[in-house]
Amino acid sequence: MDFALNHEQQLVVETVRAFVESELYPLEAEVERTGVVPPELGREIQAKVKALGFYAPNIPEEWGGGGLDHLTFTLVERELGRAAMALTVWWGRPSNILCACNDEQKQRYLLPCVAGERIDCLAITEPGAGSDARNLATVARRDGSDWVLNGSKHFISHADIADFAIVFAATGEDATAKGPRKRITCFLIDRDTAGFEVRPGYATVSHRGYHNSVLSFDDCRVPAAQMLGDEGQGLEIMNTWLYATRLTVAAMSVGRARRVFDLTAEWAATRRQFGRPIGEFQGTGFKLADMITEIDAADWLTLAAAWALDQDLPANREIASAKLYATEMLGRATDNAVQVFGGMGLVDEMPIERFWRDARVERIWDGTSEIQRHIIARAILREHGE
Amino acid sequence: MKVLVPVKRVIDANVKVRVKADQTGVELTNVKMAMNPFCEIAVEEAVRMKEAGTATEVIVVSAGAQQAQETIRTGLAMGADRGILILSEASLEPLAVAKLLKAVVEKESADMVLMGKQAIDGDNNQTGQMLAALLGWPQGTFVSKIEKADGGLKVTREVDGGLENVALKLPAVVTVDLRLNQPRYASLPNIMKAKKKQIDTMTPEDLGVDASPRLTVLKVVEPPARKAGVKVADVAELIDKLKNEAKVI
Ligand SMILES: Cc1cc2nc3c(=O)[nH]c(=O)nc-3n(C[C@H](O)[C@H](O)[C@H](O)COP(=O)(O)OP(=O)(O)OC[C@H]3O[C@@H](n4cnc5c(N)ncnc54)[C@H](O)[C@@H]3O)c2cc1C
């Protein structure tokens, strides 16, 4: 057993960290102040990342991506997690699901995304279908050789800067032993398709400048060539290509927690009250001890799940554990950070309140903590049941 | 033109250095190490020369323990062509390093040595100058600009009171200063390629060099802690203290 990163992985970590610290940190205050990243700035970040050869690091080399294995890609996500998501979204990591494209679709969607010419967004969630993603109400009806979509999606991240959406819709219902089941199918919908509209979504407490949108489909007609995978295969391709993306949420939480920890440790060592650094009071020192212990635990849990994926070992339960633990750890760590900073932890001249706000969404998106616990419990019971 | 770039593995510039309890040196266990920042600037310049077509091959060489190989790989990931590790577990003094580098320069028939003006650990600022003397080559030190001129180089040196332009005949030793360039980030393709690039390992004995130390370190201590300042009541008291206590006016 060897816990050391190899030299390539070390260099990857160093490069991403250095880029994030010197190219992205200086932009953050302005993003927090204005709540927007001007598209020109986004394009600039994109161009720098492309020049570094780090664009689309998750996509296999044969499609022009970086071809990183899960572990190394998880390290990239971990370091990116340090910086504001409104900025790191421009460090393109196209959805892995685009690898399910057929050859013709690869030319129109996967390759341009890898080249940074197009940006994708992923639309599953609906007002009536959150955790219960199967229960979606968006429908696609066959009409001749076309499909006609009706319905709406909400909370769709970075749809405002996307050129197309990867959309899940019901194309009918199948009778099963457990009752009727929606037949779910995936479509690629271009931004300018008639009947498809992207509207600003909700202002949220987390990740200023990283916007979500409402997508609506009103008799939105697309040719059959826009179907990703086969009809009724939506859940299968979702499970094949998206189940590992939860790990990126875990990794980003670890990276951000380390950044918060460094700031907090420094504050505890230098802020003096009652004639000594506040870190010397047990109430503060023990917070630091808990923070670093939990950060390390979350880090290893996350890397171990990524490693298992690379070994083709079952990792669904492990990924759920990592997502659950890392995001809850981040919540505790940022809350402790606010406490250690005292009043200064709440003011917007300091970054601490922002990390505290940003942390909150991690326990909700990509499957809530409860859903992760559900996955973990189900896996355990399956193993121990008859 | 074949360019040799010596690189040194040092404590990362962001690490707070601590003296070992027994005062024999600084704490190195579990400390993050990195390429000396001045060496990074030298590698960057050499890679730029290669991209501009003035250099044909860039070789990074490091003398030190086995882990110095990582520092060489970092240079390879920045774009250097191949590496040489001179393996020595014993610590090496500037003169020993200069002798080792001389042997490598001769073995490789290098046309130019591009290196940092100093390493941030010992701050000796000796190796480049000693190497030039041993080779009998011209030297340009503290360089903030390098241009190719016919048959040689034109370099700008950062000296007290200004900039000095010097013409050098090749082959030459050039030591670089902070403002020469901004080193690049290693790109992902280069990081992956670095693994496949060749690193030759040799020892001081292989090179016929006696690298044994000539200096003895007696003791390493922390710099004295800065004392708290004093508050003065008014300008008159300040003037009085400057005159009579500090004796600076
Ligand atoms: C900022 C933001 C960006 C997002 N971006 C995207 C995106 O790009 N694409 C996308 O498709 N979606 C996106 N989402 C949606 C996100 O994935 C959902 O919010 C999430 O899956 C939860 O769904 P919900 O909000 O409808 O909550 P609900 O499903 O209504 O859950 C409410 C509560 O009930 C609990 N609960 C529900 N079912 C169970 C159960 N079976 N057992 C125990 N507890 C349960 C939940 O854990 C939660 O605590 C985003 C959300 C946010 C906030």
| Residue A1 located in a structural domain | no
φ/ψ bin of A88: left (φ > 0), alpha (ψ from -120 to 50), beta (otherwise): alpha
| Residue A75 located in a structural domain | yes
Per-residue pLDDT tens digits for B78-125: 999 999 999 999 889 999 999 999 999 999 999 999 999 999 999 999
**Nearest by CB: A52 against B73, B188, B194:** B188
Counting other chains too, the contacts that B222-229 makes at CB distance below 8 Å and 24 or more residues apart are B222/B18, B222/B19
Q: Are strands A212-223 and B9-11 parallel, antiparallel or unpaired?
A: unpaired
Are residues A12 and B191, on separate chains, in Cβ contact within 8 Å?
Answer: yes
Closest CA to ligand 1's atom 2? A155
| Residue A103 located in a structural domain | no
Q: Is the pLDDT of residue A386 over 80?
A: no
| Residue A167 located in a structural domain | yes
Cα–ligand 1 centroid distance for A131 (angstroms): 5
Provide the ipTM. 0.86
Q: A134 in ligand 1 pocket by Cβ < 6 Å?
A: no
Do A33 and A87 sit in the same domain of this protein? Answer: yes
**Domain count of chain A?**
3
CATH number where A189 lies: 2.40.110.10
Per-residue pLDDT tens digits for B5-60: 999 999 999 999 999 999 999 999 889 999 999 999 999 999 999 999 999 999 99
Do A295 and A219 sit in the same domain of this protein? Answer: no
Mean pLDDT in residue range A314-323: 96
Q: A89 in ligand 1 pocket by Cβ < 6 Å?
A: no
Q: What is residue A106's DSSP assignment? A: I
Q: Strand, helix or coil at B83?
A: strand
For a mutational test of ligand 1's pocket, the pick from A125, A362, A371, i.e. the residue with the most ligand atoms closer than 8 A to its C-beta, is A125
Please report which helix (H) or strand (E) contains residue B114, including its range. strand B112-116
Q: Is the pLDDT of residue B249 over 90?
A: no
Per-residue pLDDT tens digits for A320-346: 999 999 999 999 999 999 999 999 999
**Residues of chain A with C-beta less than 8 angstroms from the C-beta of B189:** 53
Do A213 and A296 sit in the same domain of this protein? Answer: no
Select from B191, B193, B199 the residue whose CB has the most chain A CBs within 10 Å, as the one to mutate to test that interface: B191
Are residues B74 and A57, on separate chains, in Cβ contact within 8 Å?
Answer: no
> Percent of chain A having pLDDT more than 70?
100
> Closest Cα to residue B41, out of B167, B156, B148, B184?
B184
Q: Please report the sign of the dihedral spanned by the C-alpha atoms of residue A265, residue A267, residue A269, residue A275.
A: negative
Are residues A52 and B73, on separate chains, in Cβ contact within 8 Å?
Answer: no
Do A165 and A256 sit in the same domain of this protein? Answer: no
Interface contacts A/B by beta carbons within 8 Å: 38
The residue of chain A nearest to residue B186, with distances taken between CA atoms, is: A15
What is the domain extent for residue A226? 120-232
Per-residue pLDDT tens digits for A41-59: 999 999 999 999 999 999 9
Q: Are strands B2-6 and B112-116 parallel, antiparallel or unpaired?
A: parallel
Are residues B188 and A12, on separate chains, in Cβ contact within 8 Å?
Answer: yes
Do A88 and A184 sit in the same domain of this protein? Answer: no
Q: A156 in ligand 1 pocket by Cβ < 6 Å?
A: yes
Please report which helix (H) or strand (E) contains residue A308, including its range. helix A282-310
User: What is the Cα–Cα distance from A251 to A305, expressed in whole angstroms?
Assistant: 11
Q: What is residue B57's DSSP assignment? A: E
Per-residue pLDDT tens digits for B216-238: 999 999 988 888 888 899 999 99
Q: A285 in ligand 1 pocket by Cβ < 6 Å?
A: no
For a mutational test of ligand 1's pocket, the pick from A126, A132, A155, i.e. the residue with the most ligand atoms closer than 8 A to its C-beta, is A155
Per-residue confidence (pLDDT) for residue A311, from 0 to 100 = 96
A11 and B CB contact within 8 Å: yes
Cα–ligand 1 centroid distance for A307 (angstroms): 27
The class level of CATH for B2-224 reads alpha beta
**Residues of chain A with C-beta less than 8 angstroms from the C-beta of B182:** none
Do A259 and A196 sit in the same domain of this protein? Answer: no
Domain finish residue from A56, A76, A93: A93
Do A253 and A366 sit in the same domain of this protein? Answer: yes
Q: What is residue A23's DSSP assignment? A: I
Are residues B191 and A19, on separate chains, in Cβ contact within 8 Å?
Answer: no
Largest separation between any pair of C-alpha atoms in chain B:
70
Are residues A53 and B194, on separate chains, in Cβ contact within 8 Å?
Answer: no
| Residue A295 located in a structural domain | yes
Structure tokens at A157: 């991240």
| Residue A47 located in a structural domain | yes
User: What is the Cα–Cα distance from A269 to A15, expressed in whole angstroms?
Assistant: 28
Cα–ligand 1 centroid distance for A368 (angstroms): 6
User: What is the Cα–Cα distance from A362 to A359, expressed in whole angstroms?
Assistant: 6
The confidence band for A244, taking pLDDT boundaries of 50, 70 and 90, is: confident
> Closest Cα to residue B213, out of B105, B88, B65?
B88
Per-residue confidence (pLDDT) for residue B63, from 0 to 100 = 97
Closest CA to ligand 1's atom 14? A155
